[in-house]
Chains A and B, each alone.
Chain A
């Protein structure tokens, strides 16, 4: 173990480059971009289309820098850092391009920040504030006129093209992380927008609702339907399946209002599926069963439940319910034999629970009729 660790450290040492950013000597691992080298050395460069989980894209043009020996200004997010590179992140040329870029974005953005679901969490807001918009200059710009309908087709989130800045993070997340490709850029020029195949509502597309796009949208273009700000976050494990994705539950009191993937988790690296991300409303749902139910006498199985379970079932204690189950299983086993019983386990159980259930089925009941919902 010790040898391996030292070799890795040595390799790392060899694979380090040194560059100068704004006069500061910066060490960075070989293979990173200029932007990553700067961010790693606590030198802030504004970005909107950059995402550490996605391939470099170079669309927002805010991360532009000047590099000695290179012509003009280049986007630092797409330029590989090289040894002895001299980078300037704030020059008149750079600042002018950045200012125009952010002003152009703002001139074409619906400015309803106070009522926007992303207010104060919006990256565009932050970057605009950092760069500073010159009101007088901004007023001279022609403002965008395009108004597109909001796609509300999805039960979990809305898509508002009017707030989209075409950073492409959603498109890339869908392709690179989810591997789905439900959305891409469509049309050209000013008419360009993120679209599904055939420009259908997102709910009618091949979207798998994993929400990777929503987690990455820098603006209010992609927001969950019910957005309420959490007051605290609780780290836990997603209960839906045995993968064990690490999550943060955003809480208001004892109510879950959002779920975020844990980027530090080696299991899911921040990624989540539709259930983990959006399937939390059952927790506080009034229909949720919190006590075992036992069928009332004389209420046959042919009666439809229709949500009105209290007519058919009565609440019971766990002891009573388990006693009943044990009794009935024994009766059935004696009367019809162990193979008349089948047991179905759930992906929501842990591996240990699943192990126990198959042991119980085989050793206690005496049948091999044990299966699992993941095989269905």
Chain B
């Protein structure tokens, strides 16, 4: 079958599905959806449909990005717009089936929004919601919309058109198109993709490799996983285009083994590509050969570094080596190799499908297109988002994310994972692009975005990230192996109240040496979380060291729970809840926490009735409470 025929068939099947006389239910079953309970929802759905004798198509789709509302599904009744429902439970499923599929009430009280033509009274359009309106979905164009295990769905939505277009171009023309688009590496460093391709294209040699770096390892990052689970062909088409432009006939997807569903989806996608003649020898009769192998990583963060990644593919211990030589000259098995990240490849297919100028119309002067972020932490609407470059942090956190939950005060945003930095309030209105983030001491990174509020201790955050980089250092170079350990030990001391004067300067000094002297980027960026928190929150470090006080009241060794005598009503709830038997007191007697027994678990604070709010935390000062229980109200 020629590609034209495949395309025609895919289009007619897609159209038939759209016009199907039976309802369709699109349920998000990416890893995030599954973790939130999508499987239970599917069971409930099947049971309810059977009970009500309704015939419906259930299509498992990827992540649409609304993590805060998972598990969710979209119910499409023939002739009506699709309606999204979130925070599903089996009971809600029953209600929705009964009211909207059996009856005619779309339940505006439960619906998140609608998608597609037409409107339903009382339900907003999903993509008009504050959470989605500022977003531009290029990488995530098909996520949550198509069945990722069906290549026909991808093709019907413009898939592989980019590759077909590329086949008609000269390799150099494709590279020029990439340069024109302004696309920069989405793995974090932001190297111009077109230039990278050019180096590999120009390198002498007939055997060349291309690699997709799917070793997404930052804590709190899940963008690449969502793309591979929700739209694997977008990535694979990008690889096809890259291979053709560079002159490679073999490619690897290096993916962490902790992503079993993504691997499954990729395996299915590769098989379908072969069946359609889009992979293998003489692809679509063009004479171009390309094969893709999947290499599962064994769970080392450092294998996201390109030279370590290549060592791992070769079967060696995943350790970085010095550059030069760069992979474009001598990469996998000593051959010219081009490595791009998942999101970069997904952008490549979009750029060729549309055009370089279309892509370049999004973003800023130096940072073109969009960027996906996993927006997590202390934010109302967590999720997988895709925004045009240059958007401000405020638009992301307060617009898309809906602000800080519980009326708490915003403190900082951490971008770039363990290699990035923490940006304080003063950067809320700065644009999010490669240059601005670097100027602030952070990095774009692969797209982790962790929002923190006033209850987050910045020293503890730095300690957390250093702990991560220290345990994920490959151990090869002295700076990273022993330098991060040194910084971690100092931070450990500080949060435990054992910080010494001069520790801040020592952290900065060792941090500088690690940044300058490390072999690879893991070490080279590891001090960023410490250096930025010292830069913007030095007072917190000083409070820990000089006053043994944690201003965020988060570091357990530095805080004490106590009961405010004026507020305590002597109800005994906290006494019963305390796991350490540390609270003394009787009926109508002001309760007192025995500091020597208190494990600082915070249970008393949680259980104290809100109307009393008698439990408080202090740090850096003796608690203001009597030593022994006294009668409530000072009366005997």
Contact = CB atoms under 8 A, between A and B. Distances in A.
Interface of A: 56-62, 64, 72-75, 78-80, 93, 96-101, 104-105, 107-108, 140-142, 144, 165-166, 168, 184-185, 187-193
Contacts of A165: 478
B71 interface: no
B445 to A, nearest CB: 20
Nearest to B301: A188
A188 B474 contact: yes
B475 A187 contact: yes
A164 B337 CA distance: 35
Given A101-B478, A104-B482, A189-B485, A142 B490 contact: yes
Contact of A190 (B317, B482, B502, B513): B482
Nearest to B502: A140
A59 B477 contact: yes
B471 A168 contact: no
B517 A58 contact: no
16 contacts: A56-B322, A58-B477, A78-B322, A100-B483, A100-B509, A104-B478, A104-B482, A105-B482, A165-B478, A166-B475, A185-B474, A188-B472, A189-B485, A190-B470, A190-B475, A192-B476
Contacts of B453: none
Contacts of B322: 56, 58, 74-75, 78-79
Nearest to B468: A189
A80 B510 CA distance: 28
B517 A188 contact: no
B482 A185 contact: no
Interface string B593-608: 0000000000000000
A355 B471 CA distance: 62
Counting chain B residues whose Cβ lies within 8 A of the other chain, the interface size class is 35 or more
B478 A189 contact: no
B483 A104 contact: yes
A68 to B, nearest CB: 16
B117 to A, nearest CB: 54
A96 B506 contact: no
B329 to A, nearest CB: 11
A337 B517 CA distance: 78
Interface string B482-495: 11111001100100
A75 B477 CA distance: 11
A194 to B, nearest CB: 10
B428 interface: no
Given A107-B486, A140-B502, A97 B471 contact: no
Nearest to A184: B317
Interface string B147-178: 00000000000000000000000000000000
Q: Which 5 A-B pairs have the closest CB atoms?
A: A192-B475, A100-B513, A78-B322, A97-B517, A142-B489
Given A96-B512, A100-B517, A59 B476 contact: yes
B289 interface: no
Interface in B219-250: none
A189 B471 contact: yes
A61 B517 contact: yes
A192 B481 contact: yes
A209 B483 CA distance: 34
B506 A188 contact: no
Given A140-B502, A190-B482, A64 B517 contact: yes
Interface in B500-518: 500, 502-503, 506, 509-510, 512-514, 516-518
A50 to B, nearest CB: 12
Contact of B324 (A79, A104, A191): A79
Nearest to B474: A188
A192 B474 CA distance: 7
Contacts of A75: 322, 519
B269 interface: no
Contacts of A60: 477-478
Nearest to A74: B322
